[in-house]
Every structure is written in C-alpha cells, then in structure tokens.
Chains A and B, each alone.
Chain A
C-alpha cells in the first residue's frame, strides 16, 4: 500500500494527468429548477476539473453509466470490439464506499456465469473507481448496519480521504492499494507527491468512524436474510407504508435497484428501468394483478432487498444503506421505518436469529 498526502493544487494536478489517460467521470454541483444537486458527469475538458464537487453525496451513482436508464440492446454491436464512446477505460472519481458496494452487487447479479448479461458486461469491463470519503456522514446513511465499511471497498484500487477541517493545508490522503499501478504518467506524478503517515490517517478515520456511530441511531437486530415466511404474512405492511404515492423515485435513485423492462422500438429491442413500486409492474394481460395494493409492492421491494437477495447471494443485502431513497422520496417515507417494523416482528416471532 502507498499513501500520499495532497493539497488542493496537487489533487487538481493529479486529476489532470488522470484525465489524459482515462475517460473521467466525477460529481459536479448543478442548479436545476428549485434543486441544488450533485450529479456525476463526464469531464470533457481539463478546465472543468477544479469544479468537481466531492463534499456531499451525489444524487446519482455510477449505475447511470453502467446500467443506463434506457439502452438499445444491439446484439450485433456487441461483437464489434470498438464502441466509439468506450475506447478508453472510464475512471469514476469520488465514489462513496456504499456506491461501490452497489456495483459489487450488480456484478453478482449480471456477471453471474449462468446468467451473464453481455450488455452489462460490455459497459462494466473497462471501468476503474477511485473511492472518496470525508468526515460528513451523508444524510440518512445506514450502510454500517448493512456491514459496509465507510472508508474502503475492494472495487476501488485507490481511495481519497478529505479532511475538511484541515483545508488549506495538505488535507487529502490518497491510499493506493498494494499491487495496483496507474499508467506511467500518473505514476510519475504520484512519485512527486509527499508520502502520508499511515498512523495519522488511521487516527483520523477512527475519529470519523466514532463520530458517525454517534450520528446513526438506527439498528437492525435480525440477521439477514429476513425470514420470508414470517415477514411476508405477519408484518403489518400497511401501517408503515401508508404514505407511499407509488411514484418509484426510490427505485430510480437507488444504486442497487436493477429491474428493467423490455420494449420494442420498431425492429430494435430496448430495455429501460422499471420499478416494483409501479402499479402496472406485475399487472397481467388479463387485468389480474398479484400485487394490487401499494403495501404489497413495498413488501416486495423490502423483501427483495433483505430476504430474497441475501438468500441468493451469500447473505449480502440488496441495499447498501446510502439513504438516497429517503431524502429523494416526495413524502419522505423512510425505508428504515419499514425495516424496523419487519425487524420487530421477526424478533417477536423468534426468527430474529
């Protein structure tokens, strides 16, 4: 492992050399309507680099690039090796560990050798990620309860830590994992940078971790996967989900929701994101709908994430606790409230362990 210490100027310099080597994608703050938002986008010119905005959790995630909202399923195009927009490796810069865990989850699903998704694979194969964290716990984040480390993830060969309180000094740490090497020009640039003290970083991260622990009071007592048998029938699904409007915003901004629908545009097959929160998601041609009520759709969404997904993927939850569904929800319906209702029922029913 190598540890570098950087100031703002060093970081911009580093991004400039990265920009020369990779298709760089990073978060930016933009004003849209009444919202001030942080969104990922491609960087087209190196003059845009200083405007990269890392401090807050972006609303979008790499999902938008790896499993886009809609895409043409071009079976012929798959065989042509050079897809013009993806000739270079894409570098996602400033990705939070929860969002990296979400990509790992996608890989489990779409790169499963029995059900390999070639379209996902083609968008996924040449990406690398540089992780990011600072001392602000993103609002409504509960990733720790789902076993996701705040400050590291195996998908990121390098991780950047920003000490916001030490701004103006060398307030960035860049950790590069053992065995990983950037292209030559980037390595040359890294050579020039100061070396960081690992003890200092460790102390900083444990401070942050302690602070985060104080800020998040949410706790899941039951083990995953949640027992479907008990949860399906014995939980009062209606009460905690009564305010749901069924708009599906939670699933569209969720980094782990991957359900999609096929449709034809003349002779080409397409797919687009779909959402289990929509009333027509399970509607049959006959008009029968096995999930007629919104609380039944909520039951599906929650149990998919906390029962079915962990059942199929070695106990890993289908949720990374990023908190986006909570603050993007037009009525602020909190998934933690629903998890808690299930958790309590399981504990009472004796299936918590």
Chain B
C-alpha cells in the first residue's frame, strides 16, 4: 500500500523542521498551498526567511517537478522534497555531473501515492526514491511496482503508422509553442535549446502543423536515455497535448532492448555511452504496428 498524502504531509513537516535544526543549507524547495488560489505550488524559500512548517504539504496535485528548480541555483546548498521521479532526475543530474551531490539535501518520498491526472503514474516503475538523505513515508516493496509496463494502450505502439500520424498531427495542432513541456521537464536543461537557435533555424517563427510536428519530434528524439518518465511535460501543457506517449515509448524501448532506465543511480553511464557489441539493433523507430 502506498502512503497517504496526509501521512506524507505530516512526516514532511516534521522532517523539514528537523532539517532546519540540524542541517546547514541556503534554500528549501517544497510544496505549499497558494495563499489566494488554494492550488498546490512550489515553495522556494531562502533559509533566512521565516517559514511556517504547517504550510508545507504534499497532495495528489503536487505535480510540479522540484528537481527542475535545483538547476536554477546550482551554487547554493539546497534542501529539496523529492518524489521518486524527482530523485531519478536528481540521480541523472549527478551522473551527468551538472550538479554537486554535496550541495543537495534530498528529502525523498517513499511509497509515492501518485499524482492525479498524471498518466505517467499509471506506468510508474519507481515508487521509492533512488537517492535521498532523508526519507518520509514507508517504502513500498519493490515487487509491487518494478514490473515492465509496456502494454499500455496509451502508447499507440500497436497502431498503424498512418493512424499514429493522424493522431499526432491532430494533437500537435493545438500546440501554442509555449514550450512549457520543455520548461517543466527536469531533464531538459540545455543552455541553448534548438527551438531558440537561429544558427541554424530549426523552427520557423509562427504557427503551423509542420512547425508543431518538428518541435515535438525533435524534442522526442532528444529524450531517449534521459526521460525519467515523470509526466511533467503533459502535466504542464496548457493545451492538454498527449506528447508523453512518444517519450514514454522510447523509455520503454530502451528498457526492453538495453535494460536501460535513466537516473537509477548517480554513477550510471548514459544510454549512448554504454554501447557494447552485444547490443541488439532493433531500429528504434520500428514499431509493432508497422
């Protein structure tokens, strides 16, 4: 059984209070409820500011990835509340050497009960943190979640190419090119993203079905071996575009063929630097439906 949100919230409040007493750090990243909106939002607060521990919460609406915010202030020592998917992103950061492990105090959520409306939680294979300094909640036994869950309708991999193309063309037509999916994604952290590049121009200005398709497919192509399958992209999308089915497909392909899942440990090598001669060569664009 997963932990309840209430138990996790209470544990978190106490744990963070303890960390304030015992640890030295600059900034805390947690969740709290908006003063006026009542909506769950990231609480990013300097150690020097006054904090009411009772404001800290964890609910089924805490979908934002706090791991992403760590990258904004890499030079600071930060304490962060991390869902298991966040801890995978953090482990990935450490493995990529983009953040100093010693600068992090990770408060991992054990037995994560999931996020409402996030389809990634249905296929979650990491319900306990992979890296943490403090833990809240009881861990879930691994056999309850560590299955390979590739048989999901959502992924469309059984559908014919033409069906998929129609589906995605229609989905992407709604794209407003805000790139919130990229901005919310914990493992999208290039200093210079291809969408803003003007030498060369990958994406023309203005909206159009080609531009929408190019953006989403290029983003997808950058994701295998990085995507930790947290679903932040879809949760962030203001148009409700189902783009996660693409990245999730590649996630499951990498797992199936190379037994590779990113962000499982801080000393993991990346998918592409992990080549060996025995690797199968399935051609990852090939799908069952073709």
Name A's B-contacting residues (CB within 8 A): 32-35, 37, 69-70, 139-140, 217-218, 239, 242-243, 245-249, 252-253, 261, 263, 265, 270, 272, 275, 279-280, 326-328, 330-334, 336-337, 340
Residues of A close to B183: CB separation below 8 A: 245-247, 330
Of B36, B41, B180, which is within 8 A of A140 by CB? Answer: B36
Indicate if B271 sits at the interface (CB-CB under 8 A).
Answer: no
Are A34 and B176 in contact, CB atoms less than 8 angstroms apart? no
Tell me the complex Cα distance, A333–B237, Å.
15
Are A243 and B178 in contact, CB atoms less than 8 angstroms apart? no
Are A247 and B178 in contact, CB atoms less than 8 angstroms apart? yes
A48 to chain B, nearest CB (A): 20
A61 to chain B, nearest CB (A): 14
Are B41 and A248 in contact, CB atoms less than 8 angstroms apart? no
- 5 interchain residue pairs of minimum CB distance: A33-B240, A35-B240, A247-B180, A330-B236, A245-B183
Tell me the complex Cα distance, A279–B195, Å.
12
A263-B37 in contact given A33-B234, A34-B119 (Cβ < 8 Å): no
Q: Beta-carbon contacts of B229-242 to A below 8 Å, as 1s and 0s? A: 00000111111111
Are A245 and B207 in contact, CB atoms less than 8 angstroms apart? no
Tell me the complex Cα distance, A260–B233, Å.
26
Residues of A close to B41: CB separation below 8 A: 243, 331-334
Of B119, B178, B184, B206, which is within 8 A of A270 by CB? Answer: B206
Residues of B close to A331: CB separation below 8 A: 41-42, 64, 184
A-B contact pairs, 29 of them (CB 8 A): A32-B240, A34-B240, A37-B240, A69-B207, A70-B207, A139-B37, A140-B36, A242-B42, A243-B41, A243-B42, A243-B64, A245-B184, A245-B236, A246-B183, A261-B205, A263-B204, A265-B204, A270-B205, A272-B205, A326-B37, A326-B39, A330-B180, A330-B183, A330-B235, A330-B236, A332-B40, A332-B41, A334-B37, A337-B36
A212 to chain B, nearest CB (A): 14
Indicate if B258 sits at the interface (CB-CB under 8 A).
Answer: no
Tell me the complex Cα distance, A327–B39, Å.
8
A34-B117 in contact given A263-B205, A330-B180 (Cβ < 8 Å): yes
Q: Which residue of B lies closest to A337 (CB)?
A: B35
Are A328 and B44 in contact, CB atoms less than 8 angstroms apart? no
Tell me the complex Cα distance, A242–B78, Å.
14
A280-B35 in contact given A243-B44, A272-B206 (Cβ < 8 Å): no
Of A217, A252, A279, which is within 8 A of B178 by CB? Answer: A252
Indicate if B194 sits at the interface (CB-CB under 8 A).
Answer: no
Q: Which residue of A lies closest to B44 (CB)?
A: A242
With an 8 Å Cβ cutoff, the count of chain B residues facing the other chain is: 40
Indicate if B196 sits at the interface (CB-CB under 8 A).
Answer: yes
A217-B234 in contact given A245-B180, A280-B196 (Cβ < 8 Å): no
Indicate if B25 sits at the interface (CB-CB under 8 A).
Answer: no
Residues of A close to B206: CB separation below 8 A: 70, 263, 265, 270, 272
Indicate if B134 sits at the interface (CB-CB under 8 A).
Answer: no
Are A330 and B238 in contact, CB atoms less than 8 angstroms apart? yes
Name B's A-contacting residues (CB within 8 A): 34-37, 39-42, 44-46, 49, 64, 68-69, 72, 117, 119, 171, 174, 176, 178-180, 183-184, 196, 204-207, 234-242
Tell me the complex Cα distance, A73–B284, Å.
43
Tell me the complex Cα distance, A334–B34, Å.
7
B200 to chain A, nearest CB (A): 16
Q: Which residue of B lies closest to A36 (CB)?
A: B240
Residues of B close to A334: CB separation below 8 A: 34-37, 39, 41
Residues of B close to A333: CB separation below 8 A: 41
Q: Which residue of B lies closest to A247 (CB)?
A: B180
Tell me the complex Cα distance, A166–B93, Å.
57
Are A33 and B242 in contact, CB atoms less than 8 angstroms apart? yes
Tell me the complex Cα distance, A218–B35, Å.
10
A33-B241 in contact given A69-B176, A70-B206, A265-B204 (Cβ < 8 Å): yes
Are B241 and A336 in contact, CB atoms less than 8 angstroms apart? no
B196 to chain A, nearest CB (A): 5
Residues of A close to B46: CB separation below 8 A: 239
B73 to chain A, nearest CB (A): 9
Tell me the complex Cα distance, A199–B225, Å.
67
Are A247 and B39 in contact, CB atoms less than 8 angstroms apart? no
Tell me the complex Cα distance, A192–B136, Å.
67
Residues of A close to B42: CB separation below 8 A: 242-243, 331
Are B239 and A33 in contact, CB atoms less than 8 angstroms apart? yes
Count chain B CB atoms within 10 A of each CB in A37, A248, A270 and give the residue with the most. Answer: A248
Q: Which residue of A lies closest to B185 (CB)?
A: A245
Tell me the complex Cα distance, A32–B241, Å.
7
Residues of A close to B239: CB separation below 8 A: 32-33, 35
Are A249 and B178 in contact, CB atoms less than 8 angstroms apart? yes
A247-B236 in contact given A140-B37, A326-B39, A331-B42 (Cβ < 8 Å): yes
A295 to chain B, nearest CB (A): 11
Residues of B close to A248: CB separation below 8 A: 178, 180
Tell me the complex Cα distance, A247–B233, Å.
12
Residues of B close to A265: CB separation below 8 A: 204, 206
Q: Which residue of B lies closest to A35 (CB)?
A: B240
